[in-house]
Homo-oligomer: A and B are copies of this chain.
Amino acid sequence: MMYNFRPHRIKVYIVFLFFVSAIIFTCCKDSGDSTTSKTDLSELQQRALKISSPMPENAFTEGMNPSDELIGLGKMLFHEPRLSKSGFLSCNSCHNLATFGVDNLPVSIGHGWQKGVFNSPTVLNAAFHKFQFWNGRADNVEMQAGMPILEKVEMSSKKEHVIEVLHSIPQYVEFFRSAFPDDAEPIKYENVEIAIGAFERTLITISPFDDYLRGDETALSDLQKQGLTLFLETGCQTCHKGQVLGGEIFAHFQTPAERASGNISPGRFEITEREADMHFFKVPSLLNVVHTYPYLHDGSLWDLSQTVVLVAKEMLNKDLTDEEVDLLIEFLGSLSGVLPDEAMQLPVLPPSTSTTPLPDVTL
């Protein structure tokens, strides 16, 4: 059969060609412009992406649909000293957002100037940890948030006190109603935890390392890249891997200060009571590590270089040269990020009323 030309087919061909062109154009555009296309990445970037990934904007997981009201309420509660017995301490006292979510003390100061047991970990990016606290006694930031409020040596409060304070302030009654619209009784301790957790899930820092993982080859200096290479070759990523380069597993660790005093913390054993967990501690995240001194679970080391040397020896039995330590520190510097402006904006807390329980600074 001869080719039977039919004019109406021209339209079909033109439409077809248009779609093919559009598809080709789209594909070319994707592989050409995208900075995350694998083929564009350097070998080092690809190796780095095997142990971590760029930070997302927040740490909300599927099914979480946090409203601005919930996050805003969480921010207020994070800064709310009236949740504490004394009316003087808030989450922010020990997880100061002006100092990268830590207090830069070996152990925290709490109610009555009592000292905590472990070094306060940062709240920044904490939601990506698979366990909370050094001994992993909470599963997520929501569960974590509720604990220091009640701890005798921290905020020394009681659930009933927290609920009574919040109920006594009409603005909080309204804020909880807006944040938990489907809840018949919005003001309850569980919701305090959910709200603070929601705010903490927005405390995400974006660092030069993130930009590097996204494909920006210039985000790291040459020394930082050498440091990253050394990090991977030394084996640091055995423990310091994942979204926040840590926070995923527990490791056996005794600090020099503990050994010197003979007072060695049982660590995760206290939670699980399994002999295998004796002296095990959560591997900390390395994000913003330059700012989160002092180091180790007892906050006994102030110097990052000394900490790097110690951990390389203890965990990997490696003796690092001074030059290697310097390069690793260069890389660690690329993990410092900044919080979104919104997270750094202080809330205005509503005033107490005549029914608000008075602060009690006594022990």
Residues on A facing B (Cβ under 8 Å): 79, 81-82, 86-88, 93, 96-100, 103-105, 109, 112-113, 115, 290-291, 293, 302-303, 338, 341, 344-349, 351-352, 354, 358-359, 361
Q: Which secondary structure characterizes the binding site on chain A? A: loop
Which of chain B's residues have a CB closer than 8 A to the CB of A100?
Answer: 348
User: Are B351 and A293 closer than 8 Å at their CB atoms?
Assistant: yes
Please give me the residue from chain B that is nearest to A358 by CB atom.
Answer: B302
Bound Cα distance A93, B86 (Å) = 13
Report the minimal beta-carbon distance from A156 to chain B, rounded to whole angstroms. Answer: 12
Q: What residues of chain B lie closer than 8 Å to A93, measured between beta carbons?
A: 88, 93
User: Is B105 touching A346 in the complex (CB atoms < 8 A)?
Assistant: no
A303 to chain B, nearest CB (A): 6
Copies in the complex: 2
Tell whether A345 pairs with B348 under 8 Å between CB atoms, given A79-B98, A115-B361.
no
**Cβ A99 vs Cβ B81 within 8 A:** yes
Q: Decide: B79 and A351 in contact? CB cutoff 8 A.
A: no
Q: Which residues of B contact A115 (CB under 8 A)?
A: 361
A285 to chain B, nearest CB (A): 16
Task: Note all chain B residues with C-beta closer than 8 A to A358.
Answer: 302
A348–B97 alpha-carbon span in the complex (Å)? 8
> Hey, which chain B residues are within 8 Å of A349, CB to CB?
98-99
Instruction: Write the nearest CB–CB distance from A129 to chain B, whole angstroms.
Output: 22
Contacts of A98 in B (CB 8 A): 79, 346-349
Determine if B303 and A354 form an interchain contact, defined as CB atoms under 8 angstroms apart.
Answer: yes
Contact A88 B103 (CB under 8 A): yes
